[in-house]
């Protein structure tokens, strides 16, 4: 196999996402409709003519790099969360980030294309992308070809949001202030993220631990009960008592 060529890819853009840490990111795109991101195009790909005609498509395929796991290398077998984290399957039977070539693929919704001076960006939603993710390609999503109605989900059936999400009075007040300042619907995003139960499988019957996730620039403390996911407290990541939010 001496004629096999190795390739080097150059990022075309960088993701600025509401998910600033891995914990809490939905396991697949489309599950959290309130999740948003900006794809900032990098030179020389920040040219408007590169995207002429893209605005008529509702969704895109985004090819990206799992940049946070690059140093960990790849693994021939993995333990999928959907199998309780105990049973191993081959890496190519999974969507694990620990791949020989750490390339991810997501379908996202295209909200708009914006340009300010020489900055060109795509506004996206329904994403499952970590902040800072390098993007190597985008393509239009074609529902007549890309959607297969009778395809099998294998060992990963669609998740079921089976518990309500409740907010403390402090969390409700914080969400209201945050939306007034930033225009972001933190309440809806938090509700959709927690309803997917982001905890690892081995903790899904545990009700003693307080968890923390970060969405945008907000730290959210919450815990699970047998009946719901309850948000205890919200605060800016900078821990200021009087929120001074920094919206992108």
pLDDT per residue as tens digits for the range 168-181: 999 999 999 999 99
Among 11-20, 72-81, 117-126, 219-228, which is the least confidently predicted range?
72-81
Task: Please give the model's pTM, rounded to 2 decimal places.
Answer: 0.89
Q: Which domains does the chain have, with CATH numbers?
A: 13-146 (2.40.30.70), 165-236 (no CATH)
The CA distances from residue 58 to 54, 68, 107, in Å, are 9, 29, 10
pLDDT for residue 196 is more than 60: yes
User: pLDDT at position 247, please?
Assistant: 39
Q: Among 91-100, 164-173, 239-248, which range has the highest average pLDDT?
A: 164-173
User: pLDDT at position 155, please?
Assistant: 84
Name which residue leads in pLDDT, 83 or 155: 155
Q: Looking at residues 182-204, what average pLDDT do you find?
A: 90
Give 6's pLDDT tier (boundaries 50, 70, 90): confident
Average confidence score pLDDT of the chain: 91
φ and ψ of 81, to 5 deg: -55, -30
pLDDT for residue 244 is more than 80: no
pLDDT for residue 116 is more than 50: yes
pLDDT for residue 54 is more than 50: yes
User: pLDDT at position 246, please?
Assistant: 44
**What is the distance between the alpha carbons of residues 179 and 208, in angstroms, rounded to a whole number?**
31
User: pLDDT at position 161, please?
Assistant: 64
Among 121-130, 162-171, 231-240, which is the least confidently predicted range?
231-240
User: pLDDT at position 242, please?
Assistant: 46
Judge contact between 105 and 30, C-beta under 8 A: no
**What is the distance between the alpha carbons of residues 166 and 180, in angstroms, rounded to a whole number?**
21
**What is the distance between the alpha carbons of residues 120 and 47, in angstroms, rounded to a whole number?**
7
């Amino acid at each position: 196999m001496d004629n096999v060529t190795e390739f080097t890819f150059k990022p075309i853009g960088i993701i600025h996402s509401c998910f600033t840490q891995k914990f809490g990111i939905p396991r697949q795109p489309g599950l959290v409709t309130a999740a948003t991101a900006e794809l900032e195009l990098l030179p020389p790909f920040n040219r408007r003519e590169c995207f002429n005609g893209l605005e008529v498509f509702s969704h895109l395929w985004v090819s990206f790099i799992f940049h946070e796991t690059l140093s960990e290398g790849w693994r021939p077998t993995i333990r999928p969360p959907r199998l309780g984290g105990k049973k191993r399957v081959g890496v190519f039977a999974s969507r694990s980030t620990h791949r020989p070539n750490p390339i991810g693929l997501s379908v996202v919704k295209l909200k708009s294309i914006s340009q300010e001076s020489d900055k060109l960006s795509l506004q996206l939603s329904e994403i499952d992308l970590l902040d800072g993710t390098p993007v190597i390609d985008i393509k239009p999503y074609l529902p007549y070809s890309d959607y297969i109605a009778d395809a099998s989900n294998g060992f990963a059936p669609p998740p079921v949001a089976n518990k309500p999400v409740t907010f403390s009075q402090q969390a409700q007040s914080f969400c209201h202030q945050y939306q007034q300042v930033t225009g972001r619907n933190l309440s809806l995003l938090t509700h959709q993220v927690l309803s997917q139960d982001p905890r690892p499988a081995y903790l899904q019957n545990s009700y003693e631990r307080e968890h923390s996730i970060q969405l945008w620039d907000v730290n959210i403390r919450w815990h699970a009960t047998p009946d719901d996911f309850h948000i205890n407290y919200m605060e800016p990541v900078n821990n200021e008592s009087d929120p001074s939010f920094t919206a992108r």
